Amino acid sequence: MKISIKRKFIIGFLLIFYIGYNTMSFFMNKLIVENNKDIIKKELLTFEKDLTTYLRQYFELKNKDMDSNNFNNSSNDIASNLSIKVGSRIMIYSCEGKFLTDSANANGQVLNYEDIDNKQNYSDEDLKLSIDNKSAFTIVPIKDKYLVVFSCPIINNNKNIGIVRSVMDYSEIFSSSKKLLKLTNTFVLLVFGVIFLFVVLLATKITIPILKLSKVTKEVAKGNFEEDITINSKDEIEELSLDFNKMKNKIKNQIETIKNDRDDLKKIAGHRKVFFDNMTHEMKTPLTIISGYSQILLKQDFNDKEFARKSVKKINDESERMHNMIIELLEISKVESKITSDTKEDVNISQIIDVACNDMKIRADKYEIHIEKNVDKEVTVLGNPNELRRVIINIIDNAIKYGYINSTVNVKLFKEHSNCNIIVKDEGHGIPSDKLEMIFEPFYRVAKQTSRETGSSGLGLSIVKKIIDKHNGDIKIISEESIGTEVHITIPLKVYNIVTSC
Ligand code: ADP
């Protein structure tokens, strides 16, 4: 069974209160009774002294010896006189404890204590002790009154001559101590009440944040990390809630990282599969052609020289194609490996573009394509010069490959903000807009026949993208079918540290 913290607090407090209150009441009662007994004892000692003095004087006045005989004979007189003198009921007993007289009968009642006659209300213990020469008293509570029955042996010449027993009213002293006890109890109840209220408030203050914490923990267990705990108690609980939020957000981030990593791994695995599928397919095509032509040539009865020449050319072309493809695959592997990425140096892009345009001129002339340059001087980036050269050559080569005969290829280089921008624009077939997003995938070719050369493998742009990414740059292709293509490349410029000295 689940018991809430608040309930535990309240039950615990009530238990402490019950035990504490009862123990305190018990001891307070005992203390008050003992205190009252001490007061009564002191008063009775004085009474005992006065009584002995009175009896001595009484027998002297009567000229009688103070012995048991005379005491017994004068018991009526002594009882009534004493009763009037002290204002209490007086009973006289012989030294053996035999009842002799009672002021209530002898003298008319001074006080109506009929209840005292009811033996059930008190014991004769005090009387028995007085027979043994000891004075003693018994407290007798009757209705709302407290009566004290005091037995006092009358000793003369070390001899007990009789016993005087008086009944005195001590209600007042007991009722005032009762009042004090009541007042103390009320005060204690009040204090406990305030403490109880405090305990309830404290328990609520502690349990509310715990409940909030437990609710959010359950949500976290379900995988919901959105809700934060907000507690403004300015104490350890607020600290705990802040730490909990931090921990929750950390777990959320970790889970997101794991999810992203998993998705990335899945993507990589998918890409790898597509890559290998494409690669085997691309390798298979030239191999099938080579194998087909070789088989024909190997036939012994084959003697068509013209066909043989064409077949050898085809075998040579396909071998070339495969060779280029392998070189490009090696390039991809090189770019992806970390070996080259660490070797970064100042690269003068302006120079690279100038040289590349010159190198490509012969190729462009072949198709009557004019290369137009618009290049800013001394544009420097930090990177790998070989890789960046490969990017420029690849883009200009594509512009020539896919540009119309007798057209212009425009090459631009300029600085903008903290970047260097390279734009290569051609006038050619262009790329359909729905194919643009696939253009950087390895082995992807829009249409095999659009390339005027057999060497096209579909790996060039994929290598270019990898190199640009490695240089923290960006590549974008804008194209319009039958009009032409624009390749925009952005690479961060080299940052120069300005050192000032005083
Ligand atoms: P490749 O040119 O060897 O086929 P690329 O990766 O360089 O491989 O290019 C992929 C494909 O993108 C090409 O096959 C071609 O269809 C298309 N392409 C690239 N550049 C251009 C361009 N300037 N104009 C038109 N199509 C282009």
pLDDT at 264 over 80: yes
What is residue 111's predicted lDDT score, i.e. its pLDDT?
43
CA atoms of 265 and 130, how far apart (whole Å): 108
CA atoms of 469 and 384, how far apart (whole Å): 12
DSSP assigned state of 169: E
**Is the separation of the CB atoms in 74 and 105 below 8 Å?**
no
What is residue 358's predicted lDDT score, i.e. its pLDDT?
93
Instruction: Quickly list DSSP for 329-340.
Output: HHHHHHHHSHHH
431 CB less than 6 Å from ligand 1? Answer: yes
pLDDT at 405 over 50: yes
What is residue 296's predicted lDDT score, i.e. its pLDDT?
85
Measured in degrees and rounded to the nearest 5, phi and psi for residue 92 equal: -115, 135
In sign, the C-alpha dihedral spanning 85, 89, 94, 97 is negative
Atom of ligand 1 lying closest to residue 428 CA: 24
What is residue 480's predicted lDDT score, i.e. its pLDDT?
94
464 CB less than 6 Å from ligand 1? Answer: no
pLDDT band at 273 (very low <50, low <70, confident <90, very high): confident
**Which residues share a beta bridge with 425?**
410, 486
For the chain, domain boundaries: 5-180, 228-339, 342-502
What is residue 469's predicted lDDT score, i.e. its pLDDT?
92
Chain-centroid distance of CA 239 in Å reads 9
395 CB less than 6 Å from ligand 1? Answer: no
* Distance in Å, CA 310 to ligand 1 centroid: 28
What is residue 453's predicted lDDT score, i.e. its pLDDT?
59
User: Averaged over 471-480, what is the pLDDT?
Assistant: 95
pLDDT band at 343 (very low <50, low <70, confident <90, very high): low
User: Averaged over 172-197, what is the pLDDT?
Assistant: 89
Planar angle of CA 156, 161, 162, nearest 5 degrees: 130
User: Averaged over 173-194, what is the pLDDT?
Assistant: 89
- In the three-class reduction of DSSP (H, G, I as helix; E, B as strand; rest coil), residue 405 is classed as coil
What is residue 449's predicted lDDT score, i.e. its pLDDT?
54
What is residue 342's predicted lDDT score, i.e. its pLDDT?
58
Q: Which CATH number fits domain 342-502: 3.10.350.10, 2.40.50.320, 3.40.50.720, 3.30.565.10?
A: 3.30.565.10
Segments in 107-233 forming alpha helices (H): 114-117, 125-131, 171-222
325 CB less than 6 Å from ligand 1? Answer: no
Question: Which tokens hold the place of 292?
Answer: 């087909």
* Distance in Å, CA 345 to ligand 1 centroid: 29
For 450, residues 6+ apart whose C-beta sits below 8 A from its C-beta are 402, 429
* Distance in Å, CA 289 to ligand 1 centroid: 23
439 CB less than 6 Å from ligand 1? Answer: yes
pLDDT at 136 over 80: yes
397 CB less than 6 Å from ligand 1? Answer: no
Atom of ligand 1 lying closest to residue 462 CA: 6
What is residue 110's predicted lDDT score, i.e. its pLDDT?
41
User: Averaged over 90-110, what is the pLDDT?
Assistant: 79
CA atoms of 145 and 204, how far apart (whole Å): 48
Mutate to test the pocket of ligand 1, among 424, 427, 446 (most ligand atoms within 8 A of CB): 446
Atom 21, ligand 1: which residue's CA is nearest? Answer: 398
- The residue among 189, 187, 143, 181 whose CA lies nearest residue 29 is 181
Mutate to test the pocket of ligand 1, among 431, 452, 480 (most ligand atoms within 8 A of CB): 431
pLDDT band at 113 (very low <50, low <70, confident <90, very high): very low
450 CB less than 6 Å from ligand 1? Answer: yes
* Distance in Å, CA 206 to ligand 1 centroid: 69
Kindly list the distances between the CA atom of residue 98 and the CA atoms of 105, 166, 201, 298, 492, in Å, as whole numbers in the listed order: 16, 15, 69, 160, 129
Summary mean pLDDT of the chain: 87
pLDDT at 307 over 60: yes
Q: Which CATH number fits domain 5-180: 3.40.50.2000, 3.30.450.20, 3.40.50.1220, 3.30.2230.10?
A: 3.30.450.20
Q: Which CATH number fits domain 228-339: 3.40.640.10, 1.10.287.130, 3.30.420.40, 1.10.1060.10?
A: 1.10.287.130
* Distance in Å, CA 456 to ligand 1 centroid: 8
In sign, the C-alpha dihedral spanning 247, 249, 252, 258 is negative
pLDDT at 454 over 80: no
Atom 14, ligand 1: which residue's CA is nearest? Answer: 445
Instruction: Quickly list DSSP for 88-120.
Output: SEEEEE-TT--EEEEHHHHS--SS--HHHHSGG
- The residue among 174, 163, 7, 166 whose CA lies nearest residue 88 is 166
Measured in degrees and rounded to the nearest 5, phi and psi for residue 9 equal: -55, -50
Burial of residue 316 (number of CB atoms within 10 Å: 0-12, 13-18, 19+)? exposed
* Distance in Å, CA 445 to ligand 1 centroid: 6
What is residue 353's predicted lDDT score, i.e. its pLDDT?
96
Q: Are strands 408-416 and 419-425 parallel, antiparallel or unpaired?
A: antiparallel
Atom 13, ligand 1: which residue's CA is nearest? Answer: 445
CA atoms of 322 and 276, how far apart (whole Å): 15
Mutate to test the pocket of ligand 1, among 324, 439, 488 (most ligand atoms within 8 A of CB): 439
* 124 vs 183, more confident: 183
Which of 15-19, 108-112, 201-205, 289-293 has the lowest average pLDDT? 108-112
What is residue 109's predicted lDDT score, i.e. its pLDDT?
46
Question: Which tokens hold the place of 148?
Answer: 């004290």
- The residue among 436, 386, 20 whose CA lies nearest residue 188 is 20
Kindly list the distances between the CA atom of residue 482 and the CA atoms of 329, 366, 428, 439, in Å, as whole numbers in the listed order: 31, 21, 6, 17
* Distance in Å, CA 17 to ligand 1 centroid: 89
pLDDT band at 174 (very low <50, low <70, confident <90, very high): confident
Kindly list the distances between the CA atom of residue 121 and the CA atoms of 37, 81, 116, 146, in Å, as whole numbers in the listed order: 19, 27, 7, 11
**Is the separation of the CB atoms in 89 and 103 below 8 Å?**
yes
321 CB less than 6 Å from ligand 1? Answer: no
CA atoms of 465 and 225, how far apart (whole Å): 37
pLDDT digits (tens, 9 = 90+) for 407-444: 999 999 999 988 999 999 999 989 999 999 989 988 88
pLDDT at 117 over 70: no
**Residue owning tokens 């013209």:** 306
